[in-house]
Amino acid sequence: MLLEVKNLRTEFKLKRGTVRAVDDISFTIDKGEILAIVGESGSGKSVTSLSIMGLLQKPGRIAGGEISFKSQDLNKMSQKELQKIRGNQISMIFQEPMTSLNPVWRIKDQIMENIMTHMKISKKEALARTIEMLDTVGIPSPAERANDYPHQMSGGMRQRVMTAMALSCEPELLIADEPTTALDVTIQAQILELLYQMREKFHMAVLLITHDLGVVSEAADRVIVMYCGKIVEEADVKSLFSQPLHPYTVGLLQSIPQIDDESDQRLYMIKGMVPNPLNMPPGCYFSDRCDSCMERCTQEMPELQEINGHKVRCFLYDKAKEGELSAK
């Protein structure tokens, strides 16, 4: 087991109250595995990744839980100790490459800085590795493009630069936060193929943060579905798409447009809105949007239970009926 997150709680203390962005979540990632975390905006996906990296900004803070990487508790490490791991053993591709890259530094200088911070090599060797990594991620004429500034590259190219930087020290875990957002479909496919190739080449694990279920179906081995900071479902990718259990997951899948659908029916939409994080409802957070809501759902928070290797947080599935997936 490479990464283990246990009962993680991340809060933001505001003047109007406390927002629990990540609410008691637990999961693991094995070496070489691609785990996707999906959910709509505000579900806690990106905050989870920032918590793992130790990059939370005030007023955010980790309020409880453990984050163990190779049996080391990252929560108990100093910033100096974390800096030795960040960009080296754990790397991250941030959501928006234009704001993540320094606009006044050349591409080569930004990648070389990361390499020389973590690897004891000369500047000449760092430049050679930078050009090698740019070539690896498919940037044409890498020696010339290394001299470019970020604004001289397209969105897809900048995302490749971020990927090259993240992979430059051959990390064991890569966190990719919405790596295909704002990219056209062709570039999305190229970036996903690139991540898959890098996983195979470097034998690394990938934590893929996304709201795009199409991306998940193409790239992930296992999927976690989050809603309002909680895990509501977890399964391998085939099981999740063929037999989703939680009403929220069912709604997400029904919302995906189908190319071969010739009916004139409107696209399915989950009713209602995500609750105000400063005023969460009692019981299940999805209850007021759920077509299968029962009275119990409005009063109690269901536990995350396992049914045939498939985890779900919903009262529709009784532990006493384990193995029976007919209730929906």
CATH placement of domain 1-89+171-273: 3.40.50.300
Q: Where are the beta strands (DSSP E) in 132-221?
A: 173-177, 205-210
| 3-class state of residue 48 by DSSP | helix
Length of the chain: 328
Helix axes 155-167, 123-136, angle to 10 degrees: 130
Residue 282 C-alpha from the chain's centroid: 27
What pLDDT was estimated at residue 178?
A: 86
Strand 230-236 to 222-227 pairing: antiparallel
Domain ranges of the chain: 1-89+171-273, 102-169
Per-residue pLDDT tens, the chain, 328 aa: give them.
899 999 999 999 999 999 999 999 999 999 999 999 999 888 999 999 999 999 998 899 999 999 999 999 999 898 889 988 988 899 998 877 667 889 999 999 999 999 998 888 999 999 999 999 999 888 999 999 999 999 999 888 888 898 889 888 889 999 999 887 767 777 778 778 888 887 888 889 999 998 888 888 888 999 999 999 999 999 999 999 999 999 999 999 988 877 766 667 777 889 989 999 999 999 999 999 999 999 999 999 999 999 988 999 999 987 545 455 544 4
Residue 284 C-alpha from the chain's centroid: 23
Phi, psi of 96, rounded to the nearest 5 degrees: -125, 105
**Residue 203, exposed/middle/buried by CB under 10 A (0-12, 13-18, 19+)?**
exposed
Q: For residues 12 and 45, give the distance between their C-alpha atoms in angstroms, rounded to a whole number.
A: 15
Q: For residues 287 and 292, give the distance between their C-alpha atoms in angstroms, rounded to a whole number.
A: 8
Q: For residues 273 and 253, give the distance between their C-alpha atoms in angstroms, rounded to a whole number.
A: 17
Direct distance between the N- and C-terminal alpha carbons of the chain, in angstroms, rounded to an integer = 33
Q: Are 8 and 67 in contact (CB under 8 A)?
A: yes
Predicted TM-score (pTM) of this structure: 0.89
What pLDDT was estimated at residue 327?
A: 47
Q: Are 45 and 226 in contact (CB under 8 A)?
A: yes
**Residue 154, exposed/middle/buried by CB under 10 A (0-12, 13-18, 19+)?**
exposed
| 3-class state of residue 191 by DSSP | helix
**Placement of tokens 């929560």 in the chain:** 75
Sheet holding 72-73, edge to edge: 17-29, 3-14, 60-69, 72-73
- HSE-CB at 326 with a 13 A cutoff on CA atoms is 2
Phi, psi of 311, rounded to the nearest 5 degrees: -95, 140
Q: For residues 320 and 213, give the distance between their C-alpha atoms in angstroms, rounded to a whole number.
A: 31
